[in-house]
Amino acid sequence: MKIWIIWTGYVWLIQAIWLAKLGFDVVSLDIDEKKIEDLKNWIAVIYEPWLKELLAEVKENIKFTTNYKDLNDCEIIFVAVWTPQDKRWRTNKDFIHKASISIKQNLENNDKVIVIKSTVPVGTNKEVSEILGEWFEVVSNPEFLREWKAINDFFEPDRVVVWFWKNVKWKTKEKIRKLYNYFIEKNIPYIETTWETAELIKYAANSFLATKISFINELSQLADKVGADIQELANGIWLDKRIWKSFLNAWLGYGWSCFPKDVKSLIHQFSENGLKGNIIEAVDNTNQNQLNYFLNKIENFYDDLDWKNLLVLWLAFKPDTDDLRESRAIALIQKLQEKGAEVVWYDPLEKARENVRTFYPEINVIDDLQNVDFSKINWIIIATEYESFNDLDWENIFSKISMPVIFDGRNILDKNKIKKIGFIYKKI
């Protein structure tokens, strides 16, 4: 079976490579000529652990192109284009509409299955179907891959969810089942339902996880006021078998493109349908407030930030990724710089450092912690939850640093060890 995937974004490239590894003939299309040229030379255009090795394994089964004309020799076309937001936080569907028009204009044989992988609001699959016309079968099949763990998530998913229009042809269902037969045989839950359910479930899943984050973050502020320990409090919550511990860690707030974008899009979808998403709006407000809470925590410790030099450790939105979108660390640094603080930033990932220099030239990036003059550093902020933080030579840093103060925005350090060394340790 020959498969096309339109766009080579973060998780969609992973999807293309894994389908190739499962033995399908895959063609991945993007209008970005530089990206496609790099991929043709087997250069991984994104950072994901083991991606380079996996790309090398599937050379025989995958091709890359910018030409829509080649679409005619495939059976299934995945549409996985970007769905950003406009200034009012509505989902911008221009890219998915343009991709649909290009498919229709370039296909001679209309008997194709179009699978929508992009995260789209309710009604989008219907719009795509109307653009393409009656000869195309439109299927909704959202992705649930996480950056940094996307390769493993594709191979061992929690579920495979496929949504069809009520009048979909039986042969279309069979093609999709053949596509995902590997997972069906492994007894991975395989769910078939309707377009509308499909379009809501991704938003609902991400918004629920965001709700857990905002819930524990809001509690962290009360814990600060009354002298409670938020980590011990969270442990007391998740030991209840009805509550799972994932996403119940207090920190600077959720980032990346998915959670902020999906939460705000869901708020807008409530509004468009004459409803008010009270819980979802509170989730978003709490997330915005959490950054100000942490900044106030720093300001309450120091009367004046004008002369303070600080080191921020790690800036991507989570470990082992170069993705800076909606990074809470960047948002915090920008707020600190507005107040006059001098900021130095370090990340172990070279690609992440390159991205900062490209997109945030105002941020001072260093390539090696060995080059930091700790005698000029007044305090340290931790912004990403790398476990390796605990392996740093904190005793050596303590002996050199101007002011031994750590603000842990991820509650990742061993506080007893850090305090025993002599640091003043402030956490969420």
Catalytic residues, by residue number, are: 258
The CA distance from 30 to 49, in Å, is 22
Could you give the C-alpha distances from 15 to 8, 36, 179, in angstroms and in order? 9, 16, 12
The residue type found at 370 is: Q
First to last CA, the chain: 51
Question: Which residue from 356, 310, 368, 358 is spatially nearest to 335, judged by alpha carbons?
Answer: 310
Residue 379 corresponds to which tokens in the numbers above? Answer: 């305090």
Q: Are 201 and 160 in contact (CB under 8 A)?
A: no
Helix (H, G, I), strand (E, B) or coil at 274: coil
The CA distance from 178 to 76, in Å, is 11
Could you give the C-alpha distances from 167 to 127, 137, 289, in angstroms and in order? 16, 10, 46
Calculate Rg over the CA atoms of the chain.
24
Question: Which residue from 363, 285, 368, 369 is spatially nearest to 329, judged by alpha carbons?
Answer: 363
